[in-house]
Structure 1
Amino acid sequence: MTTSPPAEGPSARTVGGYTLLARLGEGGMGVVHLARRGPAGQRVALKVLRPHIVGDQEARRRLEREVGSLQRIRSQWVAEIVDADPWAEVPYVATRYVPGLSLHDLVVEEGAIEGDDLYWLAGCLAEGVASVHSVGVLHRDVKPSNVLMEGRTPILIDFGLARVADDPKLTHTGWLLGTPGYLAPEILYGEDAIPASDVHSWAATVAYAGTGHPPFGRGPAMAIMDRVRRGQFDLDGLPHDLRQVVAAALDPEPRNRPTLDQLLTWLRPLTTRRGERPAAPPPSAPPHDPYTVPLALAAQAAADDETDVWPGHETAEPLTLALTSYQPPVAKVPAAERFRRGVLLSGIALVCGAGCAAYPWLTTALMLVLAWLLRSGSLAASARDQRREYRGRKWYDGVQLLVAAPWHLVQSVPGAVLLALWSLGLAVAAALICYAIATGLGLALFVCGVVLAVSLWLGPGGSRVRGPVGRVVNPLAADLRRWTVALLVVLAVAAVLGFRADLAGATWTPANDRPHAEMPRP
């Protein structure tokens, strides 16, 4: 970035009226030149885009839309766009020229950044990313080579232009736009970039600046990407409090990372708005991860061998400053929606009661088996969520869920048996009360079915039943039209079973007759 410009002359090449003075560098999108318009014009960094980036009309229109958004950015921490022409014979984008080394080259030449300068860099870089996000654009490629140092101040470049290159012609299998050690795990998994992706890249860039080496190490790209996906980083050399912040922002799970607003809330008192430095909390040990990849997928875990543990990762502290992982407030469910949930659940209880009145043994068996399956599914989902909490979202989560399903079926048997015995005991008690007051067989069976359903819902371990059922009932209750249709269906089923019981009596299949048939009917 400090290349001396050659003297201008008649043979100097021009692009869009700009005279190219020196070649500053190149990347996947194009070649960057130091340029100037006219003898006394302002010097700019002119990026001449490669033909495959804007090779058709749609690509040029996309570039025009992106540049239109990016030109609204006005920030001292960003090299703003001063001119662009997506429709020129040679498309170009001109940005403010920053006469300094890139962060990557500065660290190579002078070593890691320390002390207040490191906090200043972290804060200013976060301000730059926030400026890009403020116009609704993601950077997608924050890395040391895209940060120019104007003295001790970082200036972010190439903001938003990575999105221009996000084209199917470029992102087909085998291509990856960006540097593996600075791309967020979700991008490596093929998912769309989100604001948390730039937070991850910000943290990796700050870690490089403060330690003097890439946080996820060097080596083959596949090995680096595997460390990124597993959150296996080296932050040795960072100050303790900043290390906590960076470790939280490098979490493999996007929802666990601090937001940019949270980062700036913590950084601004140290940098752009000087104030009292917040005290860092004592470190806490990370939880032990007991989960491994199953069977044929175990090869993926081979890189987890303890001889390959990176310093700093095994002692990375969770963030407990003002940057504690953001948890959105739980919205209060409106009273009308809670009422609809209760009505729909009551309808399901009526179906169970009518089913027991019509087909006592079949309905009872079906309810107990269904409770067992729901408990198994809830255990499997909890195990998956816990694995994700430890390790983040993995590509083999679905396969692991299927492989572990038989174990969860077995694991849920003791709890399901306890719940069944509890519920059957209450149902039998209800039957004895009905017999004592001579309610009649049909009504007694109906009451037993309702009591059995309520007991399975509220009994010991019933939360494992309520959870899966709630995943179905709650969305239906949230929408009045869907709730109305669901309620009509439930009531119709209850009515059909009730009429069947009233007209033909109870069918005791697979038995031939009701229990204790020799006893007189009440």
Structure 2
Amino acid sequence: MRSVGDYTLLHVLGEGGMGIVHLARHEPSGQRVALKVLRPQIVGDEEGRRRLAREVGSLQRVRSRWVAEILDADPWGPVPYVVMRYVPGRSLHDEVVEEGPIRGRDLDWFARCLIDAVAAVHAGGVLHRDIKPSNVIMEGRTPVLIDFGLARVADDPRITHTGWLLGTPGYLPPEILRGEDARPATDVHSWAATVAFAATGRPPFGRGPSAAIMDRARRGDHDLAGIEPRVRAVLDAALAPDAAGRPTVAQLQAWFRDPTISIFDTLGTVDPAAAGGGVGFAGPTTRPASAATAPRPVAETAPLAVGAAPTRQEWDDRSLPAAEPTLVEAAQESGVARLRRTCLWAALALLSGAGLATAPVPTAVIMLALVVVLRGLSLAGSVHGERRELRGARWHDGPRLVIGTPWHLVRSVPSTVVLVLWAAGLALAAGLLCYAVAAPGGVTLYVCGVVLATMLACGPGGSRVRGPVRRVLGPLSRSTRRWAAAMLVLAAVAVYLIVRFHAGGTDWTPWHDSPLGSAF
């Protein structure tokens, strides 16, 4: 696999005008990220690298759970790249094509999250300038705004060459099409066009030649049919050809927190009745604004960790995260945890040997049954994880995993047979070596058990055995108490097996005597 800096590139997530986006792994921490490798023509000279450095410096100020934040970048390296929070899921465009338009409360939630993302971008002093369905990733029904390839510092809108058109027809506001500077109202227009697509499954300015689409955008000729009236009225105002007639981001945030607040009285350009206002647009509110209805400053919103997905309950329950350990502390803790986990692995292998020396047949049956179950569960988990990585989380993921697991158990049988035969062959070879040096029967069985357990975890396809076991041993290894308790349990079982062996020798149930001869 190819590496860039401290990151290992796993596979390509997508390709755009500025570069190729890869799913990558940060090697020191193992964290999954989205890494965009910039095209040579974008950063081929000093000016291009300075432009990227300015952009990254601005984008690193943006922090929101609804935005894929910039985590790292190297504008001046041999391979310039930008690292962003990885968001599993499909783009809004693909989601709507596959699942259909977003309706009802889900649409309110979508629009509300997305306008908060826009507010967070603006609070960082940046304009996104390219909000569109392909730049919104859906984690379930929650949108996350991605790809700041076209974002620019708010007070430096002419950083690109004169005459360049940055954006996608149908989601570009009229002022950009007229060659004017971008402004916060520019992202409001693109936000509304994106929400309209989510609600209807079609671009609000139609399809066809780019010139025709842009002409409709200049004239404000948009199609919002099929959207419920109260949301349609907001989108109609936000898609106004005149930027001054659009609601501000703060007004939109306030309305989504309390739809009884009218945003149109402030604008003075839209008649709620003519816009089909419906509920929430009957007139100005009679109650004063309060802390509950006023838009919350974006600076008070604490960002989530990489890969975290907001829930509806978290919307109004945002708190600052607990202090994180330093890198040195995390590295030390990781090293200690690895040592503890190694001790647990060794204890399990030694325990397998003791079990095979004491009761060979039951121990072998239990080991083989565990291998079949673990490999089947691992395969089911991999399919489940790949589906969530592609589509994002769904409410039916759990039931689907349970229902599909038996089939994956069956699918894993052929490769499990190969692994078992390979491990059994090496265990038999170890037994023959012990026999050659005239080792006692109990010692031979013990060595065979240790080798068999080790090879079942390390042989071809053994990663599907190690993976589920590691998920259990990992949490145990990170806590001294849990690790010590686990070691005590394993030691107690080992003592029991040793005492039983010394008291009665090897138990060959279901046979009365050893089928391998008097040596055992």
Q: TM-score, normalised by structure 2?
A: 0.49
Query: Looking at CA atoms only, which structure, 1 or 2, has the larger radius of gyration?
Result: 1
Q: TM-score, normalised by structure 1?
A: 0.49
